[in-house]
Amino acid sequence: MARKRVAILISGRGSNMVALIEAARDTSYPAEIVLVASNEPDAQGLERARAAGIATAVVDHRPYGKDRQAFEHALQAAIEPHAIDIVCLAGFMRLLTPWFISHWDGRLINIHPALLPAFKGLDTHARALAAGAKQHGATVHFVVPEMDSGPIIVQQAVPVLPDDTEATLAARVLAAEHRIYPQALRLVAEGRTQKTAG
């Protein structure tokens, strides 16, 4: 079966992107990373993608102001020539509109640094510590218009230790993210998990 063609959308350092690129280096992996696109021209991840020999695109959101859909049309235009099958969000810090999400319905996945449905949104590690959570973790899920709410593909829990700081907890969760994102993309690329309609 042909490998699925994947675009990764980033805004920052791109460590999850690197985890996906490394997994896809194995030619028996069912997906290949053909494009990395960023809304931030200076994203560190862009350099890492270029170093890995992957095509990159920058679609700065700023010229579009509040017009999210115009930004997304430009993003879509950057993705389209690459015949992309699956889009992975990896630290992509723009909220997407239903227009983009419905275009990629069932083929758009995201990683979130918490055990969803707990701690949707930002600052998940600080909030887990403040809540006294004993477990925290990471989730890969299909994207739906409601933020951090789509069907879950893979999760991994990590313990919260008594002397954890935000930084130590974040590092433990990030290591889990790097394990589960390649697993989740494999499941989607092989058609072994599917988002139900709606």
Annotated catalytic residue: which of 61, 112, 136, 178?
A: 112
Smallest distance, ligand GRF to C-beta of residue 134, A: 20
Q: How far apart are CA 129 and CA 106, in angstroms?
A: 33
Residues in binding contact with ligand GRF, number by CB under 6 A: 15
CB of 10 within 8 A of CB of 92?
yes
Smallest distance, ligand GRF to C-beta of residue 31, A: 17
By CB under 6 A, residue 111 contacts ligand GRF: yes
With CA atoms as reference, report the closest residue to 1 among 197, 186, 195, 196.
186
CB of 35 within 8 A of CB of 54?
yes
Question: 12 to 71, contacts with ligand GRF by CB under 6 A?
Answer: 12-17, 45
Q: How far apart are CA 84 and CA 65, in angstroms?
A: 27
Smallest distance, ligand GRF to C-beta of residue 69, A: 22
Residue with tokens 């989607």: 188
CB of 41 within 8 A of CB of 60?
yes
Q: Is 136 tagged catalytic?
A: no
By CB under 6 A, residue 139 contacts ligand GRF: no
Whether residue 81 has a cis bond before it, omega within 30° of 0: no
Smallest distance, ligand GRF to C-beta of residue 181, A: 8
By CB under 6 A, residue 137 contacts ligand GRF: no
Query: Which residues form the catalytic set?
Result: 112
Binding interface with ligand GRF (CB under 6 A):
10, 12-17, 45, 90-91, 111-113, 174, 177
